[in-house]
Amino acid sequence: MRDLIIIKFGGSSITFKSESPPKINEDVIKNAVEDITSYKGNVLLVLGGGAHGHQAAYKYGYGNDTTPKKKLLQGIPEIRHNMSLLSSRVEHIFWEKHHKAVIINPFSFVLMKDGKISSFPMDIIRRALEADLIVITHGDVCFDESRGASILSGDVIITHLAKELGVSRVLLGTNVDGVFTEDPKVDPKAELITEITAQNRNTVLRAAKSSSGTDVTGGMSLKLQELLNLAEEGIEVVIFNLNASHRLEKVLKGENVPCTRFNL
């Protein structure tokens, strides 16, 4: 594998989180896929669930500890269907740009226990990357040995894959410039935190709230905890605005753009 990088397309960027039925943000995806064209190494792309994952998950009681197993299990087809629609659309856009991308969906091979990954075989993803394919995976619903089914978030997938594959760079696109002192969608005076260090990490964690759209996986707060975990292992982590035109290309080239970098 050459210079393998993990890139996340945040669900809040590639879908309209408050639109029901879920709607895809085609422009953002086309822009971002074009930007990836400029990268010469291997790419592993993780899609967040956005409107497609979260709305159906919410409808069937995911994110609520008291939901009966039966109801969670009944939600599987709708969540899977929506995530297939979203990932297929992204795959199709790669095809339009003459890129060989394949979707590897977690539901088919990942098992969870108590909301955490219990089995995540890596062989297929490794082989696909070694074959120089762009791998698309995504937040998904998975069978859970204790709860029946659980949501596996894109951010948790990233942490797992980055460690397993020994990746040195992880870029997370979302719908704001990075981590702010307050939720910027709520407080216009919020300021961008350009660097998260050992000194400010706890203050930053306290500022991170859940997402402003429907989100059953914990929004910015859980995202940060996962990423701190990665950064502590020496992996370069950047959160940037995927909705800003061609921002991803600049981040890939290491240009100085508004974003949050982790330096622990």
Nearest C-alpha neighbor of 1 from the set 159, 161, 158, 166: 166
Closer CB to ligand ADP, 128 or 218, in the complex: 218
Nearest C-alpha neighbor of 174 from the set 24, 35, 28: 28
Closer CB to ligand ADP, 75 or 139, in the complex: 139
Judged by CB under 6 A, which of 179, 228, 238, 251 binds ligand ADP? 179
Beta-carbon-side half-sphere exposure of residue 131 (alpha carbons within 13 Å): 13
> How many angstroms separate the CA atoms of 212 and 184, rounded?
10
Pick out residues in 183-222 that bind ligand ADP (CB under 6 A).
183-185, 207-209, 211-213, 215, 219-220
Does position 176 interact with ligand ADP (CB under 6 A)? The reply is yes
> How many angstroms separate the CA atoms of 79 and 203, rounded?
35
Nearest C-alpha neighbor of 235 from the set 167, 144, 139, 140: 167
Closer CB to ligand ADP, 134 or 176, in the complex: 176
> How many angstroms separate the CA atoms of 191 and 171, rounded?
21
User: x/- contact string, 220-239, with ligand ADP (CB under 6 A)?
Assistant: x--x----------------
Find the residue with minimal CB distance to ligand ADP.
10
Closer CB to ligand ADP, 22 or 219, in the complex: 219
Q: How far is the CB of 260 from ligand ADP (least distance, A)?
A: 8
> How many angstroms separate the CA atoms of 243 and 261, rounded?
18
> How many angstroms separate the CA atoms of 227 and 261, rounded?
10
Q: How far is the CB of 172 from ligand ADP (least distance, A)?
A: 7
Closer CB to ligand ADP, 60 or 180, in the complex: 180
> How many angstroms separate the CA atoms of 176 and 174, rounded?
6
Does position 12 interact with ligand ADP (CB under 6 A)? The reply is yes
Does position 139 interact with ligand ADP (CB under 6 A)? The reply is no
Judged by CB under 6 A, which of 5, 10, 91, 226 binds ligand ADP? 10
Other residues' Cβ atoms within 10 Å of the Cβ of residue 235? 21
Where do contacts with ligand ADP occur on this chain (CB under 6 A)?
A: 10-13, 48, 50, 174-176, 179-180, 182-185, 207-209, 211-213, 215, 219-220, 223
